[in-house]
Structure 1
């Protein structure tokens, strides 16, 4: 890999490829709430070793609870851990969205210097009343960030974390066409029709030749924010998903992605993809309802680390935790993950 000299981020050499990605939780020590770096490094390597890409400082990573300095610590720790594990080609996607355009650009530049290969940016929701539905203002925000970012930018559309701001397919398609440093979108709005429209617009050689990316190894990817419609999205020319479920079951979601892609050219594979999609979709629905604390609880239960969130996010109650673990959707996923990871018990 090219070295970073004097804090300058070189041309990226870790391609962004279609696939499945997991927004990595930020782990905290129980008493101090300081970052638990050993747990974080262990988890990043566990996920990447299963063929799932890590995303640092996203919603699941409680980015809103992290200082700038802490984000940089996590980026450097992730890169160091991946390199030490023999995974130097795994790219790092890092959340850099903030309330203002100015701070977003500062965070993005800092992340790039620390080792981020790609930024994923959400709109700040504090002034959602003025921004929601304001096509010109939202377009100006992403255009400026993309033009000034030293690394390619992924649009993050998550109304639940941005005061209800929901980017429509027309705006996202315009940004894809007009901003060559934008390399994708994550749709945590769960709108399958929106995904279909955007994927259709950016698929094929006509888009690639007419609207080339600034960096040819950073193509425009259309990614779901949930894993429960991965197989249907593959047939609509989607490119995968960024999903919190990847933390709990990386082997299962990677297998689902591979089967779904293969089924596009060999329909005999489709029934098995559909079977896995059913198991994973039900688990995604059940586990997602418990949010970050549920995912961390399951990691603690399965792998011995996870812990809790930073205050003021409350921990999961013992009753809810037991119900989550014993739920048949969770148990079916755990069984599948153990089978695919070679750790069936």
Structure 2
């Protein structure tokens, strides 16, 4: 029996690589142009690139087109990412994997498969298919994450992304209740972009009374409050949040990591704040512009910068040529690229 199975049967999560505040990147899944098979060399190279910049990978999330992947493909990607991280000496860097499915049953299947493949944590979104029924049922939503967290062999992170879940948008009270009632829930990713919600949750979670009264099931898995974009990273850290899972880190990993470092430092040393604010402004503008082009735009920019990227899996279309040119030439994009080149200390061809 696998160690993860033993942990699940004993009612405790197994030892996992520590989950820490910081920057995480939802890794795109790259496909071969004619067959749409997995392009593993590009995927592996990209995982290594962002990890060396100090950014932790999230596999099979929305940016990774999880909805377009088979169970077996998700397993292949997680195994490949773990092999890459171990191979470049980052054996202690964890992997978060998306495991939200169409039903609670499938979500649990994906969760157990992800853990067996090497994921240390899972990121779980609500299904969009019956969103009309689920969105109005607080009880059903709470039951979903409660059951998944109770039966998962690894800690579970809530993924709140209305745009990918049929408009389902958890409020701060429900998320805080889940944090209190479910010791195997290790955090939340707020791709709703609601800074007020983030502030309320972070304030509750950071209070000493919460930590004392609601310890986590796994000591390596504290409850992290993470934004879903880079455009409010500095303000969020001053509100006691813990970082971000942001698609922009695929394009400018050194810059986003530097912003996190400066923002954390500025909480103790205000002299660091002006530089953090300068970088935050650059990345906020880039995030605003690039996010509007979604997965196809992100992949296009990766192609321009690093030589791989390609198109999404059908039926998602590639970015039109005219829009791609405009995106690359946009001053917000170019300013961020310039910053990334400066921080990575090399010219990107």
TM-score by length of 2: 0.96
CA distance in 1, matches of 2:136, 2:202: 22
Corresponding position of 1:261: 264
Aligned to 2:142: 139
Q: 1:7 to 1:46 in 2, by over 3 A?
A: farther
Deviation per CA, 1:3-50: give whole Å up to 9, x if none. 956976782331000001000000000000000001000000111110
- Unpaired segments ≥5 residues, structure 2: 8-12
Give the corresponding residue for 2:170. 167
What is the aligned length? 343
3-state DSSP class of the match of 2:211? helix
Q: Which of 46, 60, 63 is 2:63 aligned to?
A: 60
Give 3-state SS (helix, strand or coil) of 1:184's partner. strand
**1:240 aligned partner:** 243
Runs of 4+ in 1 over 4 A off after TM superposition: 3-10
CA distance in 2, matches of 1:273, 1:84: 33
**In 2, distance between residues paired with 1:252 and 1:344?**
14
Distance 2:96 2:80 in 1: 13
Give the aligned CA root-mean-square deviation in angstroms: 1.4
**CA displacement 1:201-220 (0-9 Å, x = unmatched):** 00033211110000011000
Change in Cα spacing, 1:119 to 1:150, as seen in structure 2 (3 Å) is: same
Q: Is the contact between residue 8 and residue 113 of structure 1 (CA under 8 Å) also seen in structure 2?
A: no
Residue 21 of structure 2 is matched in structure 1 by 18
Contact 2:78 2:114 in 1 (8 A): yes
CA shift for structure 1 position 87? 1.0
Helix, strand or coil at the partner of 2:189 = strand
Aligned positions of 1:1-345 closer than 5 A? 11-344=14-347
For 1:99 and 1:159, the matched residues in 2 are separated by: 15
Instruction: Give me the whole-angstrom Cα distance separating, in 2, the residues matched to 1:296 and 1:13.
Output: 31
SS in 2 for 1:54: strand
Unaligned runs of 5+ in 1: none
Further displaced range: 61-70 or 7-16: 7-16
Secondary structure of the 1:94 match is strand
SS at match of 1:20: strand
Residue deviations 1:149-168 (CA, integer Å, cap 9, x gap): 00000000000000000000
Structure 2 contact 27–47 (Cα < 8 Å) conserved = yes
Paired residues of 1:224 and 1:242 also in contact (CA < 8 A): yes
Secondary structure of residue in 2 paired with 1:193:
helix
Q: TM-score, normalised by structure 1?
A: 0.97
